[in-house]
């Protein structure tokens, strides 16, 4: 939509946005702000238009008086809906609506003057600016590297943002930076599986490490055998693109003497289902089965460049392609993990949990984690349960769950708790090995996934499993998202680490 977006401290903008609530006129603080900018008449004119209802995202526009050489300033009054229900997530959405409008009228600069409504709702200007910056930065994501000669290049230009509120403007800069990290994740998600192979993912992680100073280690080939990463080895056998485990580490200059946070991502570069092949078009879109890992990469980018926490953060990406050849692993195979747990494979399409198990074992055994959060496009079942509205959250540790919920809330990335129970764990018991990778009874698929993973996490370690199969992709243009990958989880994880 825009070639780039930046925040500028000086000058005037060709569009200036103010806001009001449903059924209310712009408040006195907003009016005096407009007066200071010489825009009071234009704002009053906009507010008098019938479309100035204040309904969420309703727009009303007017211009200040033009001079011979200038066209006048476009004043945009945006509605924020019901005042009593307002929170800063509404601003992320509103900023994206403003961005779409400014792009449509080919605007080059936009001021966001929300002081009045922030004061009226006792909202923090920095957090509000962050949400608005995120909304605009997410909206601006473009990925046209896969367009060819048959598509004319769209004309785009840069957008500069301003705000007379210095805290809001600082927030905008932070929001844009977090959106940039998220957009990195979205571009990886969008990259097709013939390009985004397992080695491509390793190269991307190396590139990120080089650019940001993160430490990196990659286990591949014989390293996997030596470390007994049997999930990766078995799932990866059916592909010419070899599996690997990627470890990234953020080491702060001044570290708190705390245990590291460990972020784990399912990174299936393609999921055909393996020999339990996906049917009826169920395979389309499975290039995005790497989105858990892509979100963790984006979060590490944000951590290294924007958040810069005082806590150590370790990322583990379990990377493989679930495909078919004569060496492919099969239903009936038994896999022995490094923690001693044996798994009978009943369905090669339940592959994500098999590779995550390696990373979880490693994390518990080697990283001394303060807590572990894993992100995975793990089950179709979570889409049945929660649609694209919430990610499924499995976490029985109250303090960690509270932290995840508040990080999710600030990011506008919704999570909903789903249950863990011994009965689900019992459902995973195998007649010949310790556990199965999928119970054919078709019950509680998302819960089965979490129950399986729990066999690889030590009891005393706080752990949260986020099943993102419903939320990692948007079916249509909506809010700050355009149809395609959402980069879900990057900002949640960044907020989580920031609050630590
Ligand atoms: N990657 C899929 C889950 C998925 C489905 C993600 C749809 C995004 C959209 C996962 O590997 C899978 O195939 N899960 C199976 C598990 C089943 C065989 C136990 C599922 O959910 O159907
Ligand atoms: Mn699968
Ligand atoms: Zn999968």
Could you report the per-residue pLDDT of 6-25, keeping only the tens digit for each? Answer: 999 988 999 999 999 999 99
Name residues contacting ligand 1 (CB within 6 A): 271, 289, 347, 349-352, 377-381, 438, 445, 469
The three state secondary structure string of the chain is CCCCEEECCCCCCCEEEEEECCCCCCCHHHHHHHHHCCCHHHHHHHHCCCCCCCCCCCEEEEECCCCCCCCCCEEEEEECCCHHHCCHHHHHHHHHHHHHHHHHCCCCEEEECCHHHHHHCCCCHHHHHHHHHHHHHHHCCCCCCCCCCCCCCCCCCCEEEECCCHHHHHHHHHHHHHHHHHHHHHHHHHCCCCCCCHHHHHHHHHHHHHHHCCEEEEEECHHHHHCCCHHHHHHHCCCCCCCEEEEEEECCCCCCCCCCEEEEEEEEEEECCCCCCCCCCCCCCHHHHHHHHHHHHHHHHHHHHHHCCCCCEEEEEEEEEECCCCCCCCCCCEEECCCCCEEECCCCCCCHHHHHHHHHHHHHHHCCCCEEEEEECCCCHHHHHHCCCCEEEECCCHHHHHHHHHHHHHHCCCEEECCCCHHHHHHCECCCCCEECCCCCCCCHHHHHHHHHHCCCCCCCCEEEEECCCCCEECCCECCECCEECCCCHHHHHHHHHHC
Q: Over pLDDT 70: what percentage of the chain? A: 100
> What is the structure's pLDDT at 7?
98
Domains of the chain, residue spans: 5-179, 191-499
How many angstroms is it from 292 CA to the middle of ligand 1? 13
Average pLDDT over residues 333-355: 98
pLDDT at 189 over 90: yes
> What is the structure's pLDDT at 208?
98
Average pLDDT over residues 421-441: 98
How many angstroms is it from 203 CA to the middle of ligand 2? 24
pLDDT at 257 over 80: no
Which token pair is 453? 């993973």
Average pLDDT over residues 40-65: 97
* Ligand 1 mutation pick, 379, 436, 439, max ligand atoms within 8 A of CB: 379
What is the C-alpha separation between 224 and 242, in angstroms, rounded? 11
Closest ligand 1 atom, residue 446 Cα: 21
Closest ligand 1 atom, residue 289 Cα: 1
| DSSP-derived pairing of the beta strands 484-485 and 473-474 | antiparallel
| Atom 13 of ligand 1, residue of closest alpha carbon | 349
pLDDT at 255 over 80: no
> What is the structure's pLDDT at 253?
85
pLDDT at 254 over 90: no
Could you report the per-residue pLDDT of 150-188, keeping only the tens digit for each? Answer: 999 999 999 999 999 999 999 999 999 999 999 999 999
Average pLDDT over residues 352-374: 98
Residues with CB under 5 A from ligand 3 (ion): 268, 271, 289, 352
Q: Looking at the CA of 379, which ligand is closest?
A: 1
> What is the structure's pLDDT at 474?
97
State the CATH architecture for 191-499. 3-Layer(aba) Sandwich (3.40)
| Atom 14 of ligand 1, residue of closest alpha carbon | 379
> What is the structure's pLDDT at 209?
98
- The pLDDT-based confidence of 470 (bands split at 50, 70, 90) is very high
> What is the structure's pLDDT at 67?
86
Q: What is the mean pLDDT of the chain?
A: 97
What is the C-alpha separation between 343 and 245, in angstroms, rounded? 20
Average pLDDT over residues 53-64: 98
pTM of the model as a whole = 0.97
How many angstroms is it from 241 CA to the middle of ligand 1? 21
Average pLDDT over residues 431-436: 98
pLDDT at 493 over 80: yes
Average pLDDT over residues 301-321: 98
Closest ligand 1 atom, residue 472 Cα: 8
- Domain 5-179 of CATH type 3.40.220.10: yes
Domains 5-179 and 191-499 share a fold: no
Average pLDDT over residues 16-37: 97
- The pLDDT-based confidence of 418 (bands split at 50, 70, 90) is very high
Q: Which residues are catalytic?
A: 278, 353
> What is the structure's pLDDT at 374?
99
Average pLDDT over residues 325-343: 98
> What is the structure's pLDDT at 343?
99
Q: Looking at the CA of 347, which ligand is closest?
A: 1
Average pLDDT over residues 335-343: 98
| Atom 3 of ligand 1, residue of closest alpha carbon | 379
Average pLDDT over residues 20-41: 97
């Amino acid at each position: 939509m825009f070639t780039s977006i930046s925040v500028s401290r000086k000058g005037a903008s060709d569009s200036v946005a103010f806001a009001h609530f449903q059924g209310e006129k712009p408040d006195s603080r907003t009016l005096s702000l407009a007066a200071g900018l010489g825009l009071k008449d234009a704002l009053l004119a906009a507010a008098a238009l019938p479309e100035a209802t204040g309904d969420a995202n309703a727009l009303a526009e007017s211009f200040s008086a033009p001079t011979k050489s200038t066209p006048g300033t476009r004043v945009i009054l945006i509605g924020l809906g019901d005042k009593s229900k307002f929170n800063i997530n509404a601003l992320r959405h509103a900023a994206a609506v403003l961005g779409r409008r400014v792009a449509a009228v080919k605007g080059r600069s936009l001021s966001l003057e929300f002081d009045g409504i922030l004061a009226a709702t006792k909202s923090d200007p920095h957090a509000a600016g962050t949400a608005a910056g995120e909304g605009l930065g997410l909206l601006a994501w473009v990925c046209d590297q896969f367009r060819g000669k048959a598509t004319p290049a769209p004309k785009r230009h840069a957008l500069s943002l301003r705000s007379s509120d210095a805290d809001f403007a600082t927030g905008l800069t932070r929001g844009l930076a977090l959106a940039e990290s998220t957009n990195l994740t979205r571009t990886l998600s969008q990259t097709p599986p013939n390009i985004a192979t397992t080695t491509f993912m390793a190269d991307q992680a190396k590139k990120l490490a080089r650019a940001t100073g993160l430490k990196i280690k990659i286990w591949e080939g014989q390293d996997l055998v030596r470390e007994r990463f049997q999930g990766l080895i078995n799932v990866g056998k059916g592909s010419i693109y070899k599996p690997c485990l990627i470890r990234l580490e953020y080491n702060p200059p001044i570290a708190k003497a705390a245990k590291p946070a460990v972020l784990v991502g399912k990174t299936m570069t393609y999921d055909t289902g393996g020999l339990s092949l996906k049917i009826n078009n169920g395979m389309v879109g499975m290039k995005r089965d790497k989105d858990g890992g892509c979100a963790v990469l984006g979060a590490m980018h944000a951590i290294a460049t924007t958040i810069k926490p005082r806590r150590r953060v370790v990322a583990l990406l379990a990377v493989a392609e679930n495909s078919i050849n004569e060496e492919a692993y099969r239903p009936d195979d038994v896999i022995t993990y490094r923690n001693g747990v044996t798994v009978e494979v009943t369905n090669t399409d339940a592959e994500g949990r098999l590779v995550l198990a390696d990373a979880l074992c490693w994390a518990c055994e080697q990283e001394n984690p303060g807590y572990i959060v894993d992100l995975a496009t793990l089950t179709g079942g979570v889409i049945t349960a929660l649609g694209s509205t919430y990610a499924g959250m499995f976490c029985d540790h109250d303090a960690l769950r509270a932290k995840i919920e508040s990080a999710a809330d600030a990011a506008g990335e919704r999570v909903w708790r789903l249950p863990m129970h011994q009965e689900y764990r019992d459902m995973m018991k195998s007649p010949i090995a310790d556990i199965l990778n999928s119970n054919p009874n078709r019950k509680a698929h998302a819960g089965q996934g979490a129950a399986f993973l729990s066999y690889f996490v030590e009891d005393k370690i706080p752990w949260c499993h986020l099943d993102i199969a419903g939320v990692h992709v948007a079916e249509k243009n909506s809010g700050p998202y355009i149809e395609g990958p959402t980069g879900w989880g990057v900002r949640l994880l960044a907020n989580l680490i920031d609050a630590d």
